[in-house]
Chains A and B, each alone.
Chain A
Amino acid sequence: MKSYKNIFFQIIIILLCILFFGFLINNLIINLIRTDLGFNFSWLLKPSSFALAEHVLPYSPSDSYAWALLIGWLNSLKVIFISLFLSTILGTIIGLSSAGNNILLKITSAFYVTIIRQTPLLLQLMFWYFVGFLGLKNNFIYFSNILKINNQGIEFFGLTLTSEFSALIIGLSVFTSAFIAEVIRGGIISVPKGQWESFRSLGLSERNGLLRVIMPQALPAIIPGLTSQYLNLAKNSTLAIAIGYSDIYAINDTIINQTGRAIECFIILLLTFLILNLLITNLMETINKFINKKKIYLS
């Protein structure tokens, strides 16, 4: 009796959902016909006719929209993975120093974390771009050919990074590192104090003890938090549009302004982010599995 009731209830919910989405899609079709746009993806093959300052693969304005989108996606990936790497290093250093018992380091890292966490990322990105890079003098740091930092960007061993790219990398890494530092601090604190005392009494050095005893136990608590911070980093990288870096969102925005294909571009954006999310979660899962395997082996 009860299961029939449940099934009936669920069917009603499905019907309501279909009705609601049908209503929305009906409106959408009416509006698309009215604005004479229709719904198709054939525009993807037309030439994009906009220039991109930054591209990994060869690109010219006569290439298709699809190619421009791919370039944008690669640009996004470049930013995400570089700042993922940098923020992990920076966050680990800060997290360790805030979990240690040196008062000066603790105060400095707490100061850093509160300042970074309690101000919006968008503001920080603008600060890095407009003040941090565009506000620099023409030859701010200049060591012949090795390192040049000026308002054009960073030049390092002949490798030039534009100011937008560098500002985005620095802003994202600094912002994410504050969150990662909290995650790592939490993980280290979760290890019972007896573990510290026991490795000290065994005569292990602080560094060896931290690496061999504390970290392996803290990692299972750290990895899930780290994963969600990496996902946040990937999502936050879309703020690149505010400082004029051409990532996937910025290119979608340009295309919408040119062609008016808002619905199609939104679907593409959604799909790219679902793929990106899957990529990062799978990567972290393999790391997690690897760590768990190693732990079993150690014990």
Chain B
Amino acid sequence: MIYKMHQKKVKKYIEKIKEILFLNSLNNFLIILLIFTICIFSLQSFSSVIFNSKWSVVTTNIPLFAFGTFPSDQSWRPIIWIVSLLLTSVLSIIPPKWKWLRKNLLFAWMGMIPLGIFLLYGGLGLQTVMSRNFGGLTLTIFLTVCSSMFALPLGIGLAFCRQSSLFVVKKLSSIYIDTMRAIPLIAVLFFGQLLIPLFLPLGLEIDRVWRAIFAFTLFVSAYIAEDIRGGLQAIPNTQIESAKSLGLNQLQIIKFILIPQSLRIALPALTNQVIGLFQNTSLMSILGLVEFLGIGRSILANPKFIGQYIEVYIWLASVYWIICTILALMAKYLEKRLKIA
């Protein structure tokens, strides 16, 4: 019985596909022709590269791509950090039934940065590693996680400041947000790398990686603030009125009504920001940090692997693509789960 039903369903699907494919057969023929010509064209032009590619560039340099010049006997430290990051994100997306874990997820996320700093920089019994030895995917993830974690509270704060009734607060935050959104990211990063040392008092120096994180935070927080503001404006006024009638004060309204709802509305935009940030960390390769793309560039500069652009670029692009797609899928799942029925 069930088998027959399935058969019927499959038949229906096949018929639908047939209908779609062969209803407008001339159009489809033209499209297939177009796709074929593009394929043949690209095959012809890059045939030598595709069939004679040597993937040893990638396979011999996997540790370099993953950890940069991190001491090889210490590479378990970034691995532990990344695995714990993965675990926390999986736990926050598919929450277990235990209530205590769900309540402490926020603290787990906040603990990720100190844990990362401890594991990557060392100290307290671990061998210390200088930040110039960071690199590869580890550095990319470190930059992304730290900047997005710092930028989120800053962005929320800025969004509330922009909605504030105080004139000065409103003006200052909107000037900040608008200028940050007007200038290109590379200029902000340049500011972080070259100009921040000029603004610091003599003798005080900040690590290059932290200067980059600072610049990314400044940049992304402006964008996050706009996304959150969109979320805030989408909350109906009745919500605030009903909260007031329940006797909640200003702080409680912000904490229990405005922030959770605006975050839920802004979630798709926020995940786009995180994905964008993950991709944009590649700009640091122009400004001298050897993150994932930077490692690729420095490997291509090695005379041993000269001219093997296509292999390295395809490898880099596929890793970026896989990570970004996973992030997007996770966000989509979370969105679905948070939707109010």
Contact = CB atoms under 8 A, between A and B. Distances in A.
Contact of B184 (A102, A115, A130, A235): A235
User: Chain B at the A interface: mostly helix, strand, loop or mixed?
Assistant: helix
Given A24-B199, A102-B28, A266-B187, A118 B293 contact: no
B279 interface: yes
A241 B286 CA distance: 8
A292 B204 CA distance: 56
B283 A239 contact: yes
B282 interface: yes
Given A131-B310, A242-B286, A120 B28 contact: no
B320 A120 contact: yes
Interface stretch (B75-83, B106-114, B163-171): B163-171
A108 interface: yes
Interface string B322-341: 00110010000000000000
Interface string B179-219: 10111111100110011011111100000000000000000
Interface in A247-294: 249, 253, 256, 262-263, 266, 269-270, 273-274, 277
B187 A118 contact: no
A51 interface: no
A239 B313 contact: no
B187 A135 contact: no
B316 interface: yes
Given A24-B199, A135-B309, A135-B310, A118 B324 contact: yes
A10 B166 contact: yes
B187 A13 contact: no
B87 interface: no
B35 interface: yes
Given A13-B169, A249-B184, A266 B317 contact: no
Contacts of A223: none
Given A108-B31, A238-B186, A115 B293 contact: no
Contact of B17 (A13, A17, A103, A253): A103
A27 interface: yes
Contacts, number: 140
B159 to A, nearest CB: 17
B187 A102 contact: no
Contacts of A136: 45
Contact of A263 (B198, B316, B317): B198
Contact of B325 (A14, A105, A118): A118
Contacts of A131: 46, 49, 309-310, 313
B21 interface: yes
A105 B20 CA distance: 11
Interface residues of B, number: 55
Interface in A5-50: 6, 9-10, 13-14, 17, 24, 27-28, 30-32, 34
A119 B190 CA distance: 22
Nearest to A101: B20
A120 B198 contact: no
B226 to A, nearest CB: 10
A248 to B, nearest CB: 10
B319 to A, nearest CB: 9
Contacts of B172: 13, 17
A103 B286 CA distance: 41
Interface in A109-127: 114-115, 117-124, 126-127
A241 B186 CA distance: 10
B101 interface: no
A236 interface: yes
B17 A266 contact: no
Contacts of A114: 321, 325
A273 B293 contact: no
Contacts of B45: 136, 140
Given A27-B200, A102-B27, A231-B181, 19 more contacts: A9-B166, A10-B166, A10-B167, A13-B168, A13-B169, A14-B168, A28-B198, A28-B199, A114-B325, A118-B320, A122-B286, A123-B317, A127-B317, A130-B309, A130-B313, A135-B49, A136-B45, A266-B190, A270-B183
Interface of A: 6, 9-10, 13-14, 17, 24, 27-28, 30-32, 34, 101-105, 108, 114-115, 117-124, 126-127, 130-131, 135-136, 140, 231, 235-236, 238-239, 241-242, 249, 253, 256, 262-263, 266, 269-270, 273-274, 277
Closest 4 CB pairs of A and B: A118-B324, A235-B184, A120-B279, A10-B168
26 contacts: A13-B169, A17-B172, A24-B199, A27-B200, A27-B201, A28-B199, A31-B197, A101-B20, A102-B24, A104-B21, A104-B28, A104-B31, A104-B32, A118-B279, A118-B321, A120-B320, A123-B293, A123-B320, A127-B317, A130-B309, A131-B49, A140-B45, A231-B181, A249-B184, A266-B187, A273-B182
Interface of B: 17, 20-21, 24, 27-28, 31-32, 35, 45-46, 49, 165-169, 172, 179, 181-187, 190-191, 194-195, 197-202, 275, 279-280, 282-283, 285-286, 293, 297, 309-310, 313, 316-317, 320-321, 324-325, 328
